[in-house]
Amino acid sequence: MTIFKTAALAAAMAVLATTTLAAPLKLTPADPQPTDLTQGLSVKYYFDSVRTLSEAERAYAKAKPGKPLAGLDYRDTAEGDETLTSGKAHKVIAVIEGYVRFDEPGTYKIDFMSNDGLQMKIGGEEVVYFDGVHGCDPSEQVEANVPEAGWYALEALYFQRKGTACLLMRAGIGSPQWMEDGSFGYN
């Protein structure tokens, strides 16, 4: 009988752990809510050949301001085309900051496409950590609880090593949709 109780307890704990792991991230809105934002996102660039996000972290101290991003809709480029607004095609590290606006509260499904690595935090939570050198591939989809409509702080570290480049965001209640440039702002 004790074996059955132990097995039942283990099964219950496994279900609880799975449920806990699957709980949506809880995003925190910017407080105070920003006003007079410029559309887009601010970006700083550093140029170096890296293969991982941990190697790209050196850009935080050395990156220089670049031309702002229009948003996060940078489709897969052709070989040799500019990466984001960097003026360069390869060996680009970008430190991106600003805000993303969610128009209604709810549980959003969020994912990204990137080539290569991307670490993204929104509303104080890491929503993606998609490391390494890879093609323009989708990240894992996460669920995030947006408690109220409004602006949420956004911070990202992105790198592109060689070949083509892309950086896109999708989010939506029910199913993710491409985020329009007007959904992003910076001071």
CA dihedral in degrees (83, 55, 153, 61; nearest 10)? -90
Q: How far is CA 51 from CA 23, 29, 31, 90, 185, in A?
A: 31, 33, 35, 12, 29
> What gap in Å lies between CA 3 and CA 63, rounded to an integer?
59
Ramachandran class of 98: left when φ > 0, alpha when ψ lies in -120 to 50, beta otherwise: left
Q: Judge whether residue 8 has pLDDT over 50.
A: no
> What gap in Å lies between CA 86 and CA 128, rounded to an integer?
22
Q: Judge whether residue 13 has pLDDT over 70.
A: no
Percentage with pLDDT > 70 across the chain: 88
Ramachandran class of 124: left when φ > 0, alpha when ψ lies in -120 to 50, beta otherwise: left
Q: What pLDDT digit, counting tens, does each position of 77-111 carry? A: 999 999 999 999 999 999 999 999 999 999 999 99
Domains identified in the chain and CATH numbers: 24-186 (2.60.120.1560)
> What gap in Å lies between CA 185 and CA 151, rounded to an integer?
9
In this prediction, residues 146-169 reach a mean pLDDT of: 97
Q: Judge whether residue 61 has pLDDT over 50.
A: yes
Q: Judge whether residue 146 has pLDDT over 80.
A: yes
Q: Which of 9-13, 100-104, 126-130 has the lowest mean pLDDT?
A: 9-13
In this prediction, residues 125-133 reach a mean pLDDT of: 97
> What gap in Å lies between CA 166 and CA 117, rounded to an integer?
10
In this prediction, residues 163-185 reach a mean pLDDT of: 96
Which pLDDT belongs to residue 59? 87
Alpha helices in 42-152 (DSSP H): 53-56, 59-62
In this prediction, residues 139-162 reach a mean pLDDT of: 97
Q: Which residue has tokens 């496409």?
A: 113
Global confidence as pTM: 0.87
Average pLDDT over all residues of the chain: 90
Q: Judge whether residue 14 has pLDDT over 60.
A: no
In this prediction, residues 171-177 reach a mean pLDDT of: 95
Which pLDDT belongs to residue 21? 56
